[in-house]
Each structure stands twice: as structure tokens, then as C-alpha cells.
Amino acid sequence: MPWNPAIWVLLLGFWLGGGGLAQVTLDFADLYSQVTVRGIEFSPRLKALNGQRVSMTGWMAPPLKPKLDFFVLTKVPLATCPFCSTAADWPPDIVLVIMPKGQEAKPTTRCIRVTGRLDIGVKEDSQTGFVSLVRIYADRVEEVP
């Protein structure tokens, strides 16, 4: 079989690009189309990205516990936990980040980028009782230089 440069370019792009795991950048402004006294309405863009791989940049809220198998990603740095409330009180600028089983995030006060699968809808964690509206099942968490 003759050497084909196009195949090598394709393979190199696949390897450098994360193994074909395309991702979309999601901003906090993309989460909701309306925030009213009646509740929060998911934006059409957020609904369209549900189940897909996304990347978001923000800040890790102060942790609720020493073992960080999950944390809250916020639009701005916070001094207290924004996640200690019900879905009715869910702030419009936070996202729950769930780490892969057996992995933990390192606490940081620096800006971070989270990449993983987006999941939306009201969900209560059976172990903690925490309620979330927007989650990212992370496969990567990194500090932003």
C-alpha cells in the first residue's frame, strides 16, 4: 500500500485534537434564555448541546467537603457555597461538575477550564440530596494560564 500523506494528516489531526472528541465552548451567558420569579428557562443553545461534549471556563466555588469528586463551577470567584439550596434557589451562573469515578479535582482559587459531557434538567443526588439543573460530567479540569 503506497504512503498517503492525507491519511497521516488525518491521523495527526485526530491525535492532536483529542482523539476526535470534539467540544463546543459554552459560556455562562448561554445557559438560560430567561430567569424570572417563576424559574429559570434553559436556552435553545443549552438544550441543543445536552449530551454533547462541552468546555466551560470559570471558578471553583469553595468546596463543601475535603474530597472533591464534584464541585461547583461559577462565573465569578465566590466566598461561600452557592450550591447549598434547592432547585428553586439555583443561581443562574453556576454549573455542577462531576468528576469521573475514582478521580478527584484539586481545590484551586485560579480560573479553570472544565471539559466533559453536558447534562441538563433537575436532578437530585441520592447520596448528598443536592439538587442541580446543569451538570458537566468532567473528563478534564485544568487551570487557565
Least confidently predicted of 48-52, 83-87, 131-135: 83-87
d(CA 140, CA 114) in angstroms, rounded, equals 6
Cβ 53 vs Cβ 115: under 8 Å: yes
Whole-angstrom CA distances from 1 to 4, 7, 17, 62, 102 are: 9, 12, 26, 57, 44
Judge whether residue 22 has pLDDT over 70: no
**Pair 94, 61: CB distance under 8 Å:** yes
Give the mean model confidence (pLDDT) for residues 37-65: 91
What pLDDT is attached to residue 93? Answer: 82
State residue 81's pLDDT score: 58
Strand (E) positions, the chain?
24-25, 32-36, 39-42, 53-60, 70-74, 94-98, 111-124, 131-143
pLDDT of residue 44: 97
Is residue 82 scored above 60 in pLDDT? Answer: no
Map out the domains of the chain as residue ranges.
Answer: 22-143
Give CATH superfamily name and number for 22-143.
Protein of unknown function (DUF3299) (2.40.50.870)
